[in-house]
């Protein structure tokens, strides 16, 4: 979770109509201190062929102007808008539904079945948990215990 949830929520409110009007999905948003200072980072995507660099640039410009007008952030910051790429985090019901039957890497906040790293095929989910299967063994992982979930990246 971002250490500045109030700023993240205000940014979401600022861009919701723009995202809806342009068919853009907000995958993730963070505002936190990084090596170069404070960074507001948005990961966005579109169904189908994904989002273009041009669309990311337009959203970046829209958000930059909106942030200046609304005075949401009162310190120097870097603004990044990009597509999530291959290591896209899985967070929403829709993310998990799209990943049904695919191989996942899941890291949990605390051990489940004596481990924090879980790998397997997503075979079930609901609003409270996901179920992954590896080598014939099913593991139930509560959604609130997931620190990070993403598709397993395979290289030829």
Provide block-wise average pLDDT over 10 residues at a time, the chain (156 residues): 80 95 91 88 83 93 92 88 80 86 93 94 94 94 94 68
- Give 146's strand partners: 108
Does 73 share its domain with 16?
yes
pLDDT of residue 3: 65
pLDDT of residue 93: 87
For residue 114, the domain's CATH number is 2.30.30.100
Handedness of CA 55, 57, 63, 69 (dihedral sign): negative
Q: Which of 8, 27, 15 is nearest to 65 (CA)?
A: 15
pLDDT of residue 54: 93
Does 58 share its domain with 100?
no
Q: Is the pTM of this model over 0.85?
A: no
pLDDT of residue 59: 96
Answer with the one of 52, 82, 112 that is the final residue of a domain.
Answer: 82
pLDDT of residue 18: 96
Does 70 share its domain with 114?
no
Does 18 share its domain with 78?
yes
Is the residue at 122 inside a domain? yes
Does 32 share its domain with 75?
yes
Answer with the one of 82, 104, 127 that is the final residue of a domain.
Answer: 82
pLDDT of residue 129: 95
Does 69 share its domain with 100?
no
pLDDT of residue 154: 61
Task: State the total domains in the chain.
Answer: 2
Is the residue at 37 inside a domain? yes
> Which CB contacts under 8 angstroms, 24+ apart, belong to 48-55?
50/83, 51/24, 51/83, 55/22, 55/24
Answer with the one of 22, 49, 82 that is the final residue of a domain.
Answer: 82
Q: Whole-angstrom Cα distance, residue 124 to residue 29?
A: 26
Is the residue at 156 inside a domain? no
Question: Domain range spanning residue 19?
Answer: 5-82
Is the residue at 87 inside a domain? no
Does 73 share its domain with 141?
no
Burial (CB count within 10 angstroms: exposed 0-12, middle 13-18, buried 19+), residue 112: middle
Reduce the secondary structure of the chain to three states and give it as a string. Answer: CCCCHHHHHHHHHHHHHHHHHHCCEEEEEEEEEECCEEEEEEEEECCCCCCCHHHHHHHHHHHHHHHHHHCCCCCCEEEEEECCCCCCECCCHHHHHHCCCCEEEEEEEEEECCEEEEEEEEEEECCCEEEEEECCEEEEEEHHHEEEEEECCCCC
């Amino acid at each position: 979770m971002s250490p500045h949830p109030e700023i993240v929520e205000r940014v979401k409110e600022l861009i919701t109509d723009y995202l809806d009007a342009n068919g853009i999905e907000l995958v993730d948003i963070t505002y936190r201190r990084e090596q170069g200072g404070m960074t507001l980072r948005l990961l966005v995507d579109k169904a189908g062929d994904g989002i273009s660099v041009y669309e990311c640039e337009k959203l970046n410009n829209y958000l930059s102007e909106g942030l200046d007008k609304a005075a949401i952030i009162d310190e120097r910051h870097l603004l990044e808008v990009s597509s999530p790429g291959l290591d896209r985090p899985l967070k929403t019901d829709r993310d998990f539904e799209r990943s049904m039957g695919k191989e996942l890497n899941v890291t949990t906040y605390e051990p489940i079945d004596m481990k924090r790293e879980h790998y397997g095929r997503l075979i079930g989910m609901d609003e409270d948990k996901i179920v992954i299967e590896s080598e014939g063994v099913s593991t139930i992982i509560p959604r609130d215990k997931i620190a990070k979930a993403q598709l397993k990246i395979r290289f030829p």
